Amino acid sequence: MSALFSDEQLMIRDMARKFAEAQLLPHSEAWDRDSHFPVDVIKQAAELGFAGIYVREDVGGSALTRTDAALIFEQLSYGDVSTAAFISIHNMASWMIDTFGSDAQRQAWLPRLTSMDLIASYCLTEPGAGSDAASLKTRAVKEGDDYVITGTKQFISGAGTSDVYVLMARTSDDGAKGVSAFIIEKDTPGLSFGANERKMGWKSQPTRQVILDGVRVPAANRIGEEGHGFRFAMAGLDGGRLNIAACALGGAQLALDKAVAYAKER
């Protein structure tokens, strides 16, 4: 093990494992049964640096590597896969602002995201644009110093509870090159949410539609230049997929451990 990971990485892994065993695992079954979103516990993860794992340090991030993140999410998901996966989504949204946002956006948003004073969701999928995300139809029309955004996002983790939505919308008809990314606050007029989806498992995080009806967003909240949003979204998913794979591994390890323990009892 020491040949694969540094002493610091082993310490990070063990810290995540202890947090999962103390704060997630004892409650996982009840959270799923009651569809309870444990925001208070999720925010405790920020105290360990898990809300900005690969965000830069000047805005409160931990500036760790993707390998470090995989170690963290494998351990967190041993306690509760659903909750760990949402923490991954929050990290993905924060990373997009850190990587592609202006310095003004970084300073305005990230200190509150890395501390989890604010929690964030990622909004790409639509009712008719899931695997073919470049065909999304949510539209942002420039009006003066604002964009007016109309459309619907589907299956958004944390929707209705999250404070910040990193959302992709179409600013031109040029396919994937016509998509831009925006930061939208929960209390913006015209923003609403659908009913919580009925799911088999993963019920400790709400999953809802995000509905935009003429939502007016300052142009200052656009991440990067117009037309770059799809590239930003895909880059976010590149890391997000690594995290979800680590979450699946942690959940599988828990299932295996429980199966072995049961077999020994039998």
pLDDT tens for each residue of 104-116? 999 999 999 999 9
Tokens 């939502």 -> residue: 215
| Per-residue pLDDT, 266 | 83
Locate the DSSP E strands across the chain. Answer: 120-123, 139-143, 146-157, 164-170, 179-185, 191-193, 207-218, 222-223
| Per-residue pLDDT, 230 | 94
pLDDT bucket at 140, cuts 50 / 70 / 90: very high
| Per-residue pLDDT, 128 | 83
Determine the Cα–Cα distance for residues 135 and 120; give it in Å rounded to an integer.
Answer: 24
Give whole-number Cα distances, 230 to 96, 179, 257, 263, in Å. 12, 5, 40, 48
| Per-residue pLDDT, 129 | 79
For the stretch 51-77, pLDDT in tens is: 999 999 999 999 999 999 999 999 999
Question: Read out DSSP for 181-200?
Answer: EEEEETT-TTEEE-PPPP-S
Q: Which two tokens stand for residue 127?
A: 């009712």
Decide if 126 contacts 82 (C-beta within 8 A). no
Q: Percent of the chain, pLDDT > 90?
A: 94
pLDDT bucket at 2, cuts 50 / 70 / 90: low
| Per-residue pLDDT, 248 | 96
- CATH value of 7-118+233-265 in 3.40.50.300, 1.10.3480.10, 3.40.50.850, 1.10.540.10: 1.10.540.10
Angle at Cα 204 formed by Cα 127 and Cα 93, nearest 5°? 60
Q: Is the pLDDT of residue 187 over 50?
A: yes
- Domains 7-118+233-265 and 120-224 in one fold: no
Q: Given CA atoms 201, 169, 241, 101 in this order, what sign does their dihedral have?
A: negative
Q: Which two tokens stand for residue 169?
A: 């919308």
| Per-residue pLDDT, 3 | 73
| Per-residue pLDDT, 135 | 86
Q: Is the pLDDT of residue 150 over 90?
A: yes
| Per-residue pLDDT, 152 | 97
Q: Give the chain's length.
A: 266
Decide if 64 contacts 95 (C-beta within 8 A). no
| Per-residue pLDDT, 1 | 47
Determine the Cα–Cα distance for residues 23 and 50; give it in Å rounded to an integer.
Answer: 14
Annotate 96-112 with b (16+ C-beta within 10 A) or e (fewer).
Answer: bbbbbbeeebbebbbbb
Q: Is the pLDDT of residue 154 over 70?
A: yes
Decide if 212 contacts 150 (C-beta within 8 A). yes
Average pLDDT over the chain, rounded to an integer = 95
> What are the domain boundaries of the chain?
7-118+233-265, 120-224
Task: Mean pLDDT check: name the lowest of 109-113, 162-166, 199-203, 258-262.
Answer: 199-203
For the stretch 159-182, pLDDT in tens is: 999 999 999 999 999 989 999 999
Decide if 57 contacts 63 (C-beta within 8 A). yes
Q: Which two tokens stand for residue 63?
A: 């500036």
* 167 beta partners: 123, 182
* 151 beta partners: 212
Work out the average pLDDT over 4-18.
96
Residue 263: other Cβ atoms inside 10 A: 8
Question: Read out DSSP for 126-160?
Answer: BTTBSSSGGG---EEEEETTEEEEEEEEEEEETTT
CATH superfamily, domain at 120-224: Butyryl-CoA Dehydrogenase, subunit A, domain 2 (2.40.110.10)
Task: Mean pLDDT check: name the lowest of 10-24, 98-112, 132-146, 208-222.
Answer: 132-146
Q: What is the pTM of this model?
A: 0.95
Q: Given CA atoms 197, 203, 207, 208 in this order, what sign does their dihedral have?
A: positive
| Per-residue pLDDT, 73 | 98
| Per-residue pLDDT, 133 | 72
Work out the average pLDDT over 184-195.
98
